[in-house]
Structure 1
Amino acid sequence: MALRRAGEERLRIARDLHDSLTHSISVIKVQAGIAVHLARKRDEEPSAALLAIQEASGAAMRELRATLDVLRSPADEDRVGLARVGELAERTRAAGVPVQVTVTGTPRDLPAEVDQAGYRVVQEALTNVARHAGPATARIHIAYAPAQLTVSVDDDGQASPARPVTPGVGLRGMRERVTGLGGTLRTAARDSGGFAVRATFPLDARA
């Protein structure tokens, strides 16, 4: 029993560590890469400081992945929820990825765990777009209905049904969060190109 509890705690720590750090490090790495590319495009040599940031962010990402492989994501010190999706979108735009946000239905107070899980789905999906999609636009759709909440993120990047995506720690953690709340998660390459993430959470229609 004690071993089981320890294992569950390790999974929780790994999942939350992934959620809090991977997005931020990815944004730093992408921004540094863009700055280096633009400098060289102007036939300028990037500054040593910029190259150091690019290298350090890449090393930090590799080390984080290695740690997550051992732990397999942080208990929130600050409350996060869907009200802060706009901040995620702005940070992703700053990294060079256009983001569109659409909200349909009537926003409502959500159970804290559903609100947080919805935010984490968007966070992980945007991180993956910045890291893997190449030149792409991301579209976030949050749909409120009386009996369910649906959070979708899709992009028009490089993913293709002909090249199946191997689920990494992020997608596995995302699925654990969603299904742990009785929800469903679908992740797949789009027929028209790009990748789609769709999480649906059941809600009490009387709330």
Structure 2
Amino acid sequence: MTTTPGLLRPFAGALGLAVVMVVAGLIAPESRRALDLVAVLLIAVPALATAGVRRAPVPVLAVATAALLAYQARGYPGVGSSLPVIVALYLAVLARQRLAAGAAIAAVLVGGYTTEVATVGSGVGGANLSPDALQRWVLLIGWMVAACVAGELSRQRRIHIGHLEQRALDAERTREETARRRADEERLRIARELHDSLTHSISLINVQAGVAVHLARKRSEEVPPALLTIQETSREAMRELRAALEVLRSDEEPATVGLNRLDGLVEGAVRAGVPVSVTVSGERRDLPDPVDRTAYRIVQEALTNVARHAGPATASVHLEYGDDELAVQVDDGRGGAAEPGVGLTGMRERVTALGGSLHVGPRAGAGFSVRAVLPVEVAGP
């Protein structure tokens, strides 16, 4: 239904043009022959044909030119029959059909003038052709040339506007690329600064823990579990910092960060004094990298919060593989609430980016729970 006005508009315009031409013929000064049915057909057919002039300018121009020549040759009154020719000339030039437009003007100039001279019965040179008839043909050719000029100007204007629009698009694309490049450069600079400062501090922690472990073993003393945990955790932190820097350099996260490292994460929590149990339900399968990374980071952040806020507590990790989603739930048995901060905010941002849901809060009865549901695309057959 929305296309009906667009389809009817050209036909309405063509019908209006036909009516105007018939009225112009009726009120025009008398000529050799009065307006009759043939004249109306010579007016109506090219006028109605202009409804398709945008799609087929050359055929419509040919029909309009032939009708004009026949109308003038039969001596009907007025020059209203030239209107379809003028419209067709404009749109033909607009469609880059200059040769057809020139041929139509030449046909009208030679054929129409010659036909009228022969009809009047003038001698050599057309001495008996009336001044009014000569003026009429000069004006008619002038209007046709003006239509061609207007069509060429419109075409050049469209080309100019197209160039301006393309130039604006190119400039916008250049600005976006420049902004993206600057953002990437700034991101990489920040990554280097973080890497250098954090790696330096964590390296010192790792070295100090390593020295303490070495001295304890050298003295045949029992190595405190906390030292071993500090040593391993700092070593793991340095590996992740290096991996994160590579991510920022290449715009890709390392494929190694995912649930395939869950066992190592659980072992680290156990060494830190948080007993952790892991249960899996559903059919375990490979996950898309974003989902796999997000699930791992959720478990990592939740276990970190348990170690920081829950005191002596146990934790349980449950992974539930559904047909089109993965549910990750981490519970602790003490109920120490995690403080709102960057960790929980980042967790929520990761889940939201995947179109999932996150619930963080106290469990019914006792304890604290983190549950995330992540959608997983199902591969087609």
* SS of residue matched to 1:101: strand
Which residue of structure 2 lines up, in the alignment, with residue 70 of structure 1? none
Q: Which segments of 5 or more consecutive residues in structure 1 lack a partner in the other structure? A: 33-46, 58-73
Asked if structure 2 preserves the Cα contact closer than 8 Å seen for 1:134 and 1:158, the reply is no
Which residue of structure 1 lines up, in the alignment, with residue 263 of structure 2? 86
Runs ≥4 residues deviating over 2 A? 74-78, 204-207
1:146 aligns with 2:319: no
Letter in 2 for 1:171: L
Which residue of structure 2 lines up, in the alignment, with residue 106 of structure 1? 283
Deviation at 1:80, TM superposition (A): 1.1
Which residue of structure 2 lines up, in the alignment, with residue 136 of structure 1? 313
CA distance in 1, matches of 2:348, 2:317: 18
* SS of residue matched to 1:93: helix
1:199 aligns with 2:372: yes
Deviation at 1:101, TM superposition (A): 0.2
CA distance in 2, matches of 1:84, 1:127: 15
Which residue of structure 1 lines up, in the alignment, with residue 302 of structure 2? 125
Which residue of structure 2 lines up, in the alignment, with residue 155 of structure 1? 332
RMSD: 3.8
1:167 aligns with 2:340: yes
CA distance in 1, matches of 2:256, 2:306: 24
Asked if structure 2 preserves the Cα contact closer than 8 Å seen for 1:146 and 1:204, the reply is no
CA distance in 2, matches of 1:204, 1:129: 31
* SS of residue matched to 1:91: helix
Deviation at 1:78, TM superposition (A): 6.0
* Percent identity of equivalent pairs: 57
CA distance in 2, matches of 1:132, 1:91: 17
Asked if structure 2 preserves the Cα contact closer than 8 Å seen for 1:103 and 1:142, the reply is yes
Letter in 2 for 1:168: G
Deviation at 1:77, TM superposition (A): 4.6
Letter in 2 for 1:119: Y
Which residue of structure 2 lines up, in the alignment, with residue 68 of structure 1? none
Asked if structure 1 preserves the Cα contact closer than 8 Å seen for 2:255 and 2:289, the reply is no
Question: When the two structures are superposed, what TM-score results if normalisation uses the length of structure 1?
Answer: 0.63
Question: When the two structures are superposed, what TM-score results if normalisation uses the length of structure 2?
Answer: 0.36
Letter in 1 for 2:301: E
Q: Which has the higher contact order (CA 8 A, sep 6+)?
A: 1
Task: Please state which structure has a larger fraction of its residues in strand.
Answer: 1
Q: Deviations over 1:112-149 (max 9, x none)?
A: 11001100000000011111111110000011011110
Task: Please state which structure has a larger fraction of its residues in helix.
Answer: 2
Asked if structure 2 preserves the Cα contact closer than 8 Å seen for 1:105 and 1:143, the reply is yes
Aligned partner of 1:178 among 326, 347, 351:
351
Q: Which segments of 5 or more consecutive residues in structure 2 lack a partner in the other structure? A: 1-175, 210-223, 235-243, 248-252
